[in-house]
Amino acid sequence: MMAGVDREYEGAAASFEPLRPTLMRVAYRMLGSVADAEDMVQEAFIRWMGTDRNEVREPEAFLRRTVTRLCLDRLKSAQRQRETYVGEWLPEPVLEEEEDQDVTLPLMLALERLSPLERAAFLLHDVFGLGFEEVAASIQRDAAACRQLAARARNHIREARPRFRVEKERGLELANAFFTASRSGDMKTLAAMLAADVSVHADGGGKRSAAMQPIAGFDAVMKFHEALAALFRQKGSKLVRAGFVNGLPGFVTLEADGELQTTALEFEDGKIAAIYVMRNPDKLRHLH
């Protein structure tokens, strides 16, 4: 009996595991949570084990549909939880060696303003390149409705698309320069890096100190960093690694309280237009 179960598991896993990274990309971009995305992909695997796989002609399409539907259900409850979230909500940081220009952090924040169906239609068609017939099969709406959903989503988030691409090496150079200036208190260098309408967005989730609302404008952001620099001089902040955080140049630090923190920088015309800081320890567990 156990041998049969093992063979069933191995057979399902052999066809599922090569698709897991693609399914994780879909689930994470739908949900903005690594843990939730992992749960949805694992649930899809459990369902895959219970499926007559000989009847499935296109496993990738079948599993993508399964994950999308699971994510749509999860989004409904997630939206209710976001209404009671303490402070500003940011998606969980995902670290990448290369920049991802398809779904950057600002775009993920813009996706939060869409309905679950708009979000799914946009991601499946505009980001993952699926035809509207396949989108329709995934979200159980007709193709014409999916076109409308994607068009509405596109209009809502057009401004969040990256318009000023920073080359990889330049982006990492700027991220390192920002880390050095902000931690050492070199306000002159920091000021030269910031755009006039720069903003800071921090997510502490009520677990660690963080600004409850965005800090907007050059003067306010400079004042904020002057106060931080005084703290860094007393308590320190250690660079763990630089890289791309949700498609943006950034870095991971170890702060004085022993917790990790990620910082991602959005650039416009070579200046920092937005600074995104993740401090919520619940959203940083997967980085340990």
Per-position DSSP letters for the chain, written without gaps between them = -HHHHHHHHHHHHHHHGGGHHHHHHHHHHHHS-HHHHHHHHHHHHHHHHTS-GGG-S-HHHHHHHHHHHHHHHHHHHHHHHHTT-SS---PPP-EESS--SSS-HHHHHHHTTS-HHHHHHHIIIIIT---HHHHHHHHTS-HHHHHHHHHHHHHHHGGGS--S---HHHHHHHHHHHHHHHHHT-HHHHHHHEEEEEEEEEE-TTTS---SS-EESHHHHHHHHHHHHHHHHHH-EEEEEEEEETTEEEEEEEETTS-EEEEEEEEETTEEEEEEEE--GGGTGGG-
Q: What is the pTM of this model?
A: 0.88
For the stretch 123-182, pLDDT in tens is 999 989 999 999 999 999 999 999 999 999 998 887 656 555 678 888 899 999 999 999
Specify the pLDDT at position 264: 96
For the stretch 80-114, pLDDT in tens is 777 788 899 999 999 987 666 677 888 889 998 89
What is the pLDDT of the chain when averaged over all its residues? 90
Domains of the chain: 1-84 (1.10.1740), 105-161 (1.10.10.10), 168-287 (3.10.450.50)
For the stretch 202-256, pLDDT in tens is 999 999 999 999 999 999 999 999 999 888 888 889 999 999 999 999 999 999 8
